Structure formats: C-alpha cells, structure tokens
Structure 1
C-alpha cells in the first residue's frame, strides 16, 4: 500500500483519481483550497486518510501547507494535480495572476518543501505543445493586465510543469519524476462536451502513482493517455531552460531546492 498526496482533489480528476487509488488499497491525503471545499473532498472520497487545506494562489499558504503535510509524515507519491484554466487577470497578495501562482509556483514550492517522496507526478496538458517556452516574464509582472492572455498563460504554465518533472528527475536520481497529459476529459475544468476518455486519464495517474508497471520505472518522461510515452515540447529537455525556471521560482518564492 502506498501513501499518496494529491493537490486539487476536491473535485474533477483529482477526486476521481483519489477514489480509484483508495479503492485499490492505498492511503490518500486529499487537498482543498478551503474548509467548504474540504467538506466536498471528504464527501466524494470518504475513505481517504484525511484532507488538508491551503490556498495555492498564496505563497505563504502554500508554504504552510507544506509544513502541515510534513507533520503527517512522508508520502510515497505526490501528485501535483491542481491547476487553473481560463483564469481571468487579477493579482494575488504576491502581485501575480492566480494562474501563475497555482500552476507554476505551487508545484515548485511543494516539491522543494515537502518531505521528498519516491514518486513525483506533474499534471501538464497537450496544450503545452503550443505554449511559450521562452521563460520570459513567466509571472506576468512585466506584461501586466493589458498583456495578459489566460490561454497563453495556461499553455505556458503547462510547459513549466513538464520542465519541473524533467528537472527534478535529473537533479534527484532517487526519485521517479514524470509528467502527464490527461487529455480533454468531461470534468468541471474540461466541460461537458470534452471528448477525452476519463478512464484513460485515470490510468496514467494510477500507473505513475503506484510506480509498479514497467513504464512507471522510468523518470523524466511525459505521458499521453493510454498510457503511452509522448513527445514533449523540445524546450523541456534543455537543461539550461530547466535551471532557469528553477532559478526564477527560487528567487521569487525564496524557496531553495534541497540538494
């Protein structure tokens, strides 16, 4: 039995995956943004170990969430599932759009501060293929509201998620760190008209979280539904780009990567 933590597991794929992993005998810790959402998470997956709360759009809250998780002990797997899509422009208390905070900074902070697991899973999207891999102004501080485009912001953040998986796979050879594209599935985020296969999406999560199948023994891989190995945007394999993204996140959050 594995012990697994899933961000953004109060609804959508995060909740579905949690339910599936619990049904397979694993111990799952859920995550929700606040207390009302925590109640939703527990109702959907009543047999989970527990639920923790934390607003991932806040650097302070995300750091506190990491502290709370470490008090629970060490996890076998951490799944960075939480994400915003089509999020309109506003500024968090840290002065950046919520999408940049949740999709990019939160997985970085949690990966650095939570007790190191055996397995890391970063949820990306096929939309990253058309995302901006230049790593220029990733937090939209220079472009601001006038230059903000929620779709471009989402695509770029999904590039970052793949880069994180590959960067930590390289830096931490004792950890299996991979990314996945769940496909366009009919969830709250995907919408009722989504044509993707939810079961195919869940299969990738489960395979990587359990880490037992042959495909799950690898690290630094990007997976498509199936699960099959996909070809990520070329930028994500550039070690200089990987280090640059890590440095940007470290400087903005004040969180350094453990050796």
Structure 2
C-alpha cells in the first residue's frame, strides 16, 4: 500500500485518479481548494480518505498546504493534477504551486505532473513572465510547457525520485468541456498507473506519457539551459530553491 496525494481532486481527472487508487487499496489524501468543496468528496472521506485544503493561486495558502501535507505524510507519491485553463491564475496554479509544493514538501519516491498536448504550442521564453497572477502574461500552453520542463529538470536533478509528466488527453471534464473527444477513463489511468506500477518501462524517470505510452515532448523540455532558467526564475519568485539531490 502506498501513501498518495492527489491535488485538484474534487472532480474530473483528479477525483477519478484518487478513487481508482483508493479502490486499489492505497492510502489516499485528496485536495480541495476550499472546505466547502470538500462536500464533493464526502463519499471518499467516508471511506477513510484524508484531505488537505488550500487555494493554489494564493501563495500563503500554498505554504500552509505544504505544511498540511507533511503533517499527513510522508508520501510515496504526489500527483500534481490541479490546473486551470484560463485567467490570471494560470501560472500560479499550473506552475508556481507545483514547484513550491515540490520544493517545500518532504520528498516522495514518485512525482507525477499533469501536462497537455497543448504544451507543444508553448513558448520557451521567460522574458517578462509574471508568476504572481496579477496579470495573465502567459497562456495555458506556455504553462504546460513550463511544468513539463520542470518535471524533466527534476528527473535530472533528483535521480532517486521517479518523475513523469502526463498528457491525459482532451477529456470531458469541467475544464475540457462537453465537446471533448477523448476517453475520460483513459484520461486518468496513466497517472494512477505511474503512481504504483513496477513495469520496467515506467521506472525510467523523466518521460512524457499519453495513455500509457511515451511520446517525445517539445524540444525545449529537455533543454538544460531552459530548465535552469526556469528553475532560477521560480526560485527568485517563491524564495525557495530545490534541495540538492
């Protein structure tokens, strides 16, 4: 049995991932943006799931969330599922929060970050980036390129941790919308599988996955120069750097 935290798990892919892992017998901790949102998880809470609460767009709440998580940890796996598709919170939620939680929490054995095939449209350019969310300086595609490059950087810098990025596909969640053409079940299976599998193909860190198959990401993802620029920019904004290996 593994201890697994899934962020953004009140609905959609996060909830399906948490429920699948719970059904497999793992100890699961879910995450909600507010205590009110926990009502959507009551059936899972009744089955023994624990919860952490915090708005990933709010820096102080992210700090508290890291503390809450460590109080319930240590975790074998953290799945950074939470995300938003538009608005000024795109960078704080999709990139800054995963970075800061990773840097501040006790290090797990596995880390999974939700990417998107839209990361291929992202720009590997950090000039003038505003991580604070006071304005929308970057697109959703940019944010997914950044978090995918971050995952690749972690795989390089933390060799003892198994790190992956996952494209769940365009699935009919609240974010994806009713017109999404991909399979919702396929959308959550890969991250749940990567959290626990002993398949040798999945035990190679730093890969980019779609429906349990590896794919080549945007060229900038494995550009170490871009990775370092990204890490330095996030460290300067958050005041926390990644601990050495």
Give the structure-1-normalised TM-score.
0.89
Deviation at 1:136, TM superposition (A): 2.4
- In structure 1, C-alpha distance between the alignment counterparts of 2:64 and 2:98, rounded to whole Å: 14
| Alignment-derived partner of residue 139 in structure 2 | 153
- In 2: Cα distance, 1:41 partner to 1:137 partner: 39
Describe the SS at the equivalent of 1:51: strand
Match of 2:53 in 1: 53
Residues of 2 paired with 1:137 and 1:46: CA distance?
46
Tell me, yes or no, if structure 1 residue 136 matches structure 2 residue 136. Answer: no
Q: How many equivalent pairs are there?
A: 244
1:76-91 paired onto structure 2 within 5 Å = 76-87=76-87
Structure 1: stretches of 5+ with no match in the other structure: 88-96
Q: What is the deviation of 1:38?
A: 1.6
3-state SS in 2 of match to 1:30: strand
Identify if the C-alpha distance between structure 1 residues 140 and 249 changes in structure 2 by more than 3 Å, giving closer, same or farther: closer
Which 5+ residue runs of structure 2 have no aligned equivalent? none
For residues 54 and 125 of structure 1, what CA distance do their matches in structure 2 show? 24
2:204 counterpart of 1:213: no
Change (3 A) 1:207 1:59: same
CA distance in 2, matches of 1:228, 1:22: 24
Q: Residues 176 and 217 of structure 1 are in contact (CA less than 8 Å); yes or no, is this contact kept in structure 2?
A: yes
Deviations 1:66-101 (A, max 9, x none): 0111111200000000000122xxxxxxxxx31111
Shift of 1:45: 5.8
* Structure 2: distance between partners of 1:167 and 1:173: 10
Residue in structure 2 matched with residue 126 of structure 1 by the alignment: 117
2:6 matched residue in structure 1: 6
| Structure 1 counterpart of 2:91 | 100
| 1:192 has 2:178 as partner | yes
Following the alignment from structure 1 to structure 2, what is the Cα–Cα distance between the partners of residues 2 and 23? 12
Task: Report if aligned partners of 1:222, 1:231 keep a CA contact under 8 Å in 2.
Answer: yes
What is the aligned partner in structure 2 of residue 16 from structure 1? 16
Runs of 4+ in structure 1 off by over 4 angstroms are: none
